[in-house]
Chains A and B, each alone.
Chain A
Amino acid sequence: MLAYHRASQRLIQSLSNLHQKFYFSTTASINSIPKKNKLPPRPKWLIKEEEIDEKFIKGGRGPGGQKINKSNSKVQLTHLPTGIVVTCQYSRSQESNRKRAREILALRLDEQQNGEKSRTSIVNERKTKLKQSKTKKANRKYRNLQEEKNNQLVENENSDQSELSPEEEFELFLKQYSKEKEIEVEKDESNDNNNNNDNDK
């Protein structure tokens, strides 16, 4: 009997543990939006200059220098070991395009090497989670607003019923007044009765 009791207790405990674990893990996965300052760093260390072939594309061959004035400064990087090609021409400055192209290439290499743990996928995950929580919050807000509205409507209906015209109110007052009078009359009567009783005594 004692053994059975212990066994059942253990079972209950393990069940509650399991429940706790389960409960904990679900809330953790929902709430764990990675902090912006705790994202994995930009994987610049993946860039090795000797593994890169860099080209500046100025719109084809032909004369250059003083003869032509090109404003675009597209940078194309080829990562020799993997064959990944990246281009960048967002800025007029070749320097910043070179830097940016290296950042893009580093992210691409990171994606290839680390898959789900790469910076891009974590950043994207963060974005979707933020969006989800935003829509969730918005839904909650509008649900609450709607509920409040509904409640107000009900209240208004109720108060509409309880509202009386002045005449009705007057009647009500009269009724109450007459009732009070009656009670007073009754009281007097009872007093009288008492007196009578006294007299009887």
Chain B
Amino acid sequence: MPRVSGKLVKQAARVSPLLPYLLRANPSLAQAQQELKWIQAELPKHQWKNAVKRRNAYEPLQYILESQPFGSLDIICEKGVLIPRWETEEWCLKLSSVLSILGKKNLSILDSCTGTGCIPLLLNYELNQLANLNSHIRAFDISSDAYRLSKRNHQAYSSLHPSSATNIKFIQANLFSESIVSHVGIQCADLITSNPPYIPAHHYHKSVGLDGISRSVREYEPAEALIGHMEFYEALINNLVKPLSASGFVFELGYQEQADYVYRMLKDTEEWRVGVLKDSASNIRCVLGWKSNSPMRVLGQLCSSIYS
């Protein structure tokens, strides 16, 4: 982390005595001011000082404010559970828009490694609250912290949108267990979504400049939600997609080789098509698959490139 210059600190102190604390996490004064505005808007006055001090120690703003906007929803965030990212929000909204246009009722959707529950809750809101498609959504996570938080988020959701809250169910389960399908309690699913841990262990301890991760993420967000590689995609295909005879999937990822790996797993089956989606920062972000004879072929519209 580059040292914050004394000049900038003085400049910030002139605006507000709280502002210099935010400079370590925000390289520019304008960004720091923006964060201070959010802190002052969302927290009571007596917590401001403590909040900026926590931010000075690189704690993520979402843990301090205890929430992160996700689509039209506000997701509660807690230490120990991964904070929803804007990239996830982006593909989730794209996915729900093509599914709403498809307009197929009674879809069965399963979300693995759900964390806060942001993906299933946003899909539920878009498909069942707005488009009235009566989809059945289940979501699970191995971590008990995540399970508890997803239940809390579900409760918050149902107080705002009680009519669609019953279409979704959260479970605590392990993706790698052989009995995962019976544990989840469904025989088949149309669509599997997931944002599994996808940072290889050798990148986890490096800095951003060296393909690594930012200090704030390493020090505050749970490693078990971050460190992972091919084994997760293998388990998602073998333990969920195949046994549930799903006809489509969307998995978030961070590397081209992870998408290639998924493609290689399904290459030999005639019916599967696989493509990748880029986020608006033009980084590769998702691998998508669909059976070419199923309604899930609409997923092809989301892809920037399709394997052939």
Contact = CB atoms under 8 A, between A and B. Distances in A.
Given A66-B199, A67-B213, A69-B216, A59 B31 contact: yes
A72 B213 contact: no
Given A63-B208, A73-B86, A92-B69, A68 B213 contact: yes
Given A72-B34, A94-B69, A95-B69, A66 B283 contact: no
Q: How large is the interface on B (under 10, 10 to 19, 20 to 34, 35 or more residues)?
A: 35 or more
A55 B282 CA distance: 11
B80 interface: no
From B212, B213, B216, name the one whose CB has the most chain A CB atoms within 10 angstroms. Answer: B213
Contacts of B254: 63, 65-67
B183 to A, nearest CB: 25
B281 interface: yes
A173 to B, nearest CB: 72
A96 B254 CA distance: 27
A68 B69 CA distance: 17
B182 interface: no
Given A63-B211, A69-B214, A95-B69, A58 B281 contact: yes
Nearest to A55: B280
A142 interface: no
Contacts of A66: 82, 85, 195, 197-199, 213, 217, 225-226, 254
A113 interface: no
A70 B85 CA distance: 8
Interface string B47-72: 00000000000001110010011011
B252 interface: yes
Interface in A45-69: 55-56, 58-59, 61-69
From A66, A73, A89, name the one whose CB has the most chain B CB atoms within 10 angstroms. Answer: A66
Contacts of A95: 69, 71-72
A56 B208 CA distance: 20
From B211, B282, B283, name the one whose CB has the most chain A CB atoms within 10 angstroms. Answer: B283
A93 to B, nearest CB: 3
Interface string A122-150: 00000000000000000000000000000
A191 interface: no
A69 B62 contact: yes
A143 to B, nearest CB: 41
B260 interface: no
A71 B60 contact: yes
Interface string B1-25: 0000000000000000000000000
A95 B122 CA distance: 13
B221 interface: yes
B279 A64 contact: yes
What 3 A-B pairs are tightest by C-beta distance, nearest first?
A: A93-B69, A67-B213, A71-B61
16 contacts: A56-B281, A58-B86, A58-B281, A61-B282, A62-B208, A63-B283, A65-B285, A67-B212, A67-B214, A67-B217, A69-B214, A69-B216, A70-B86, A71-B38, A71-B60, A92-B69
Interface of B: 31, 34-35, 38, 60-62, 65, 68-69, 71-72, 82-83, 85-90, 195, 197-199, 203, 208, 211-214, 216-217, 221, 225-226, 252, 254, 279-283, 285
Interface of A: 55-56, 58-59, 61-73, 89, 91-96
